[in-house]
Amino acid sequence: MTANPPLRVLIVEDEVLLATELEYLVTASGAEPVGHAMTSPEALDLAERLRPDLALVDVHLGDGPTGVEAARGMTDHCGAVVLFITANLKRLPSDLAGACGVMSKPYSEHQVRAALGFIEACMVNGRATCPPPQGLQLSAAYAELWNGPAAA
């Protein structure tokens, strides 16, 4: 059995303390943090250059509530899977701007680890082998993609 290369993760969060903590959790769950952006232009630029597998995105960034558009851009043009991690669920459109799901702040260390593990398994296998962990809400599109139309 060959090990899969680690998931490459971009963190888009304007609070450096939270970003640092997320970087730690990403590393601890076996993935590789490849970069950190604090504004939407930075996020799009880094996503373009680094081509991460996964981007963890807050709605509120250094340049305002621009995380939603940044997420759409990274999904549409950079091939990244986006997971929102935000205290701002109410600002998210119903299709989650193409993101795979959302975790709401305040989250616990365990919730983030579990969510990262789940998403990584889904991306590797192309489908879910268990229900999403507590705290992670999948978008309708990804629930269908990973669970099959019946379960969505």
Partner 1 sequence: MKRRELTSQTMDERVAALEAAVEARTRDLKAALDQRTALLHELDHRVKNNLQLISSLMLMQARRTADPSVRAALDGMLERLHAIATVHRRLFQTEDVERFDLSEFVRDLVADLAGSNRHPLLTFQCVLAPAEVPASRAASLALLINELVSNAMRHAFPDGRPGRILIDVRKSGEGLRIEIADDGVGMAGSPGGAQDAAAGFGLTIVDLLGRQLRACIRRETTDIGVRTVIALPPESVGVGR
Q: Which residues of this chain interact with partner 1, rule CB under 8 A?
A: 15, 17-18, 20-21, 24, 60, 87-91, 104-111, 114, 133-135
**Which residue, chain included where needed, has tokens 């076996």?**
30
Interatomic CA distance for residues 25 and 47, integer angstroms: 20
Sign of CA dihedral 127, 129, 140, 80: negative
Count of CB atoms within 10 A of residue 141's CB? 15
Interatomic CA distance for residues 75 and 43, integer angstroms: 12
Residue 106, preceding bond cis, omega within 30 degrees? yes
Inter-residue contact 123 to 81 (CB < 8 Å): yes
Nearer to partner 1, 78 or 138 (CB): 138
Min dist CB 104 to partner 1, Å, is 6
Nearer to partner 1, 21 or 63 (CB): 21
Nearer to partner 1, 53 or 67 (CB): 67
Interatomic CA distance for residues 150 and 139, integer angstroms: 15
Min dist CB 108 to partner 1, Å, is 5
Min dist CB 115 to partner 1, Å, is 11
Nearer to partner 1, 100 or 115 (CB): 115
Min dist CB 60 to partner 1, Å, is 7
Nearer to partner 1, 60 or 72 (CB): 60
The β-bridge relationship of strands 54-57 and 8-12 is: parallel
Min dist CB 145 to partner 1, Å, is 24
